[in-house]
Structure 1
Amino acid sequence: MPGNAMHIRARLLIGLATFFDGFDVIAIAATLPLLIANWSLTPGQIGFLIAAPSVGQLVGALLFPALAERFGRLRSVGWSAGIIGLMSIACGFAPSFEIFALLRIVQGLGLGGELPVAATYINEVTRAHGRGRFVLLYEVVFPIGLMVSNALGAFLVPRYGWEVMYFLGGVPIVLFFVLRKLIPESPRWLAEKGRLGEADAALSAFEARARQPLPPVGDTSAFDAMTARHPRRRVRDLVGRAYIGRTLAVWMLWATCGFIQYGLSTWLPTVYKTVYHAPLQLALNLAAGASVLGVVGSLICAMVVDKVGRKPVINVSFVLCAVSLVLAGVFHASTVYVVATFCALAMGFLACGFITAYVYTPELYPTSIRAMGCGLGGAWLKISAIFAPGLIASTIGSGNLSVAFYGLAVVPLLAAVTVFFLGIETKGQVLEELEV
């Protein structure tokens, strides 16, 4: 299908949900220094405050993909966006540490559920040729959300207080009301459910907005034979003989992203302020700089992923991320600017592998289990996010961060090895061709 305006609309609206997923998930980084001061938080409470939303995200990463398989991709994204927005606004009114943490856990349901279902939908409405670039240019809104959150946090929090970040994070509640009215459901999901009339109508909604004449329908006999040859898969098949290698690669990939993202980026402003005694404004600015490199890395990745393939991008970026973290550990006793440079490089390289996961994971599974495959991958991200903040928390008191940096570096290195040996290459192939 030629490019069309409905694809752009879908990418913008689903992208808005993903943007605020990134915005809200990292808002704690900019607000944490003030929350620590306001509520006199201990290191243990700080670690819990960072990790607690991941409990909700873990549940959401399993719940919303299951809802997406049963009720549709758009319903699931709309419900998760509504929870994200409503709970963000409520966080801005939280009077205490306990209530704030509880609201963040509930918000985590939406934060954990939106990303895997959104990635599934975008993959399912995209043609094979150039799919990596199309999907990643959509997914780049997540690191942009991280960057904007850090940048606005650096500007707004010192001037207007921590609450303003959570009031801004309430925007996605609008999507709960308008999403299904403005873009069609996934034709692949509708067809999988036997709702062929609705699938045809959804497909026609995309075709009607095509900027060029539609090409003639080709010979579909090969796909008919493919459909007959491959049985309808169930969730248990994710760990069955056919998909276990792919699934292990996906789990390690997502766990690594969660471990570094939550074990490092959410702590950076606090580490710069507490360990290196940087002023609050400087600490926030340095953290914002790291998120800028994340966006740059994501854009570069989107441009090359269809040319060099998914696996090379993931493997090279994760190895370079590990090298940057090792260098941060070696030079941890240097100035805050040296450490911040290596941390920014690590976050930039991580972003390349992280964003590739959003196009790579849905490509590995058939339609019947695609959302759950993505959800289980996202669940491993949340599991690692629960435990990763403790690694930094255990070293922040001593001021020696070398052990933390070395420990963080091992994780992307292991992920690169796992994806290299167990992952498959998917570039340029129609989704149905990747079934086994």
Structure 2
Amino acid sequence: MVIGTAWLFDAADVALLSFIMPLIKKEWFLNDNQIGLVSSITTVGMMVGAILFGYLADKFGKKNIIIITLLIFSISNLVLALTTNVSQFMLVRFITGIGLGGELPVATTIIADSFSGHKRSKMLILVDSFWAIGWIVASLLAFLFMPIYGWRFTVIVTSVMALYTLVIRRHLPAQTNIKNEKLNLRIALSQIWAKDFRRATICLSLLWFIIMFTYYGMFLWLPSVLIKRGFSVVHSFGYTLLMSFAQLPGYFLAAYLMGKLTRKKVLEIYLVGTIIGAFLFGTAQNTFLVVFSSCLLSFFTLGAWGILIALTPTQYPIEIRGVGIGFTQSIGRIGATIGPYLIGFSLSINLSIATIFFYFVGSLILGIIILIFGMVDKDQKDSLVLE
């Protein structure tokens, strides 16, 4: 619950940005290019934060570092309310992204270090389910609070999450502060590319790239396509809430299947489900199919994200686990940056929706191939089949 709530704050911050961007576009007369940069600068910060704080967590202890990451993006939100132009806004969002990107791998390592076997996989997926709750909180703030008080006061309200660090300081166990002060970043990075971990690092990096490329590409751009086709429902409060709630059973089913099937098999099922959801979402011709396929896509895409979070930390020993998670997720953030820009560019040169969907379907098929033939699940206690 302690780590899950921190995860919730992270998700709420990311979600709120998507609601704030249309407001600053109007307030500061920004063009689509500038809005694209605002969106991507947080992701760039998250790439930096994932590697940096993943390493620092291994070196100075997870409990210390997760408190620092929470403080960084909480205080940054306070400063964000004082920005007066897009340049200041982007600088603050870059710093915010460093904190956000650092918090996720550190939180993951804390859970991975605290449990083992099937329970570890279940707990990692359940912690990730707090992401959906964070989106629900952000939706409530955006639709009920922000129209009355404005985006600046809303982000000030979210900055009170800094106080939550007191809860973390008190309730996280002492073993989360195990330190390895002799650890060197260059050596740690070389270790995850050593013979024993090279295969896992390559496969996990590619899988994170594909998952984030698909998620951010679809969820940021395709609603705009549907709006142009007359489905205004995708910008409604009810639709946003429904999409967020649809994520929860996806997480819960994945957690239930841990121990019933191998993690690789469950992830394969969820990637296939994502392909089906993406196809239905892009070809929907009526409101019912738009809503249904959106829920399906939300169910499988975020569930696959949770399963990959359960799979990643078990591929590395505890001494370099933070670096391993941080590095592979930072590669994924490249996909999160490329995805929306590639879709936007494709739409600007009038490529068909079918062609754009080939990006997603093709990448997801590649992900399934990498998972089946490349990924080896090293956590034998957490698998029904010893590979």
TM range (shorter): 0.7 to 0.9
Q: For structure 1, which segment, 334-343 or 319-328, has the greater mean C-alpha deviation from structure 2 after superposition?
A: 334-343
Provide Cα deviations, 1:174-221, integer angstroms capped at 9, x if missing partner: 24445333322336945x779xxxxxxxxxxxxxxxxxxxxxxxxxxx
- CA distance in structure 1 between the partners assigned to 2:277 and 2:177 by the alignment: 41
Given the alignment, which residue of 116, 120, 132 partners 1:131? 120
Q: Is the 8 A contact 2:73 2:99 kept in 1?
A: yes
Q: Is the 8 A contact 2:254 2:303 kept in 1?
A: yes
Shift of 1:129: 4.8
Q: Is the 8 A contact 2:204 2:312 kept in 1?
A: yes
Q: For structure 1, which segment, 251-260 or 115-124, has the greater mean C-alpha deviation from structure 2 after superposition?
A: 251-260
Please give the root-mean-square deviation of Cα atoms over the aligned residues, in Å: 2.9
2:191 matches 1:237? yes
Q: Is the 8 A contact 2:200 2:315 kept in 1?
A: yes
- Report the TM-score, using the length of structure 2 for normalisation: 0.88
Given the alignment, which residue of 217, 232, 250 partners 1:263? 217
- Give the unaligned 5+ runs of structure 1: 1-11, 195-232
2:340 matches 1:384? no
- Report the TM-score, using the length of structure 1 for normalisation: 0.79
Shift of 1:80: 0.5
**Matching residue of 1:417:** 369
- CA distance in structure 2 between the partners assigned to 1:79 and 1:122 by the alignment: 18
Given the alignment, which residue of 363, 375, 380 partners 2:326? 375
Given the alignment, which residue of 244, 249, 268 partners 1:291? 244
2:257 matches 1:304? yes
What are the residue-to-residue correspondences of 1:118-157 with 2, within 5 Å? Answer: 118-157=107-146
Q: For structure 1, which segment, 366-375 or 284-293, has the greater mean C-alpha deviation from structure 2 after superposition?
A: 284-293
SS in 1 for 2:107: helix
What are the residue-to-residue correspondences of 1:3-402 with 2, within 5 Å? Answer: 12-186=1-175, 189=178, 234-267=188-221, 270-271=224-225, 273=227, 276=230, 278=232, 282-331=235-284, 334-335=285-286, 338-395=289-346, 401-402=353-354
Q: Percent identity?
A: 25
**Matching residue of 1:210:** none
Q: Is the 8 A contact 1:27 1:165 kept in 2?
A: no
Shift of 1:148: 2.6
Number of aligned residue pairs: 380
Question: Greater Rg, structure 1 or structure 2?
Answer: 1
Shift of 1:59: 0.5
Q: Is the 8 A contact 1:269 1:287 kept in 2?
A: no
- Give the unaligned 5+ runs of structure 2: none
Provide Cα deviations, 1:63-96, integer angstroms capped at 9, x if missing partner: 0011111111111111111011111222233222
What amino acid maps onto 2:274 in structure 1? Answer: C
Q: Is the 8 A contact 2:205 2:328 kept in 1?
A: yes
What amino acid maps onto 2:101 in structure 1? Answer: G
Say if 1:264 and 1:89 are closer, same or farther in 2 by CA, change over 3 A: farther
Provide Cα deviations, 1:362-419, integer angstroms capped at 9, x if missing partner: 1111111111110011101211122222123225555964433332232222212211
What amino acid maps onto 1:325 in structure 2? Answer: A
Q: Is the 8 A contact 2:270 2:301 kept in 1?
A: yes
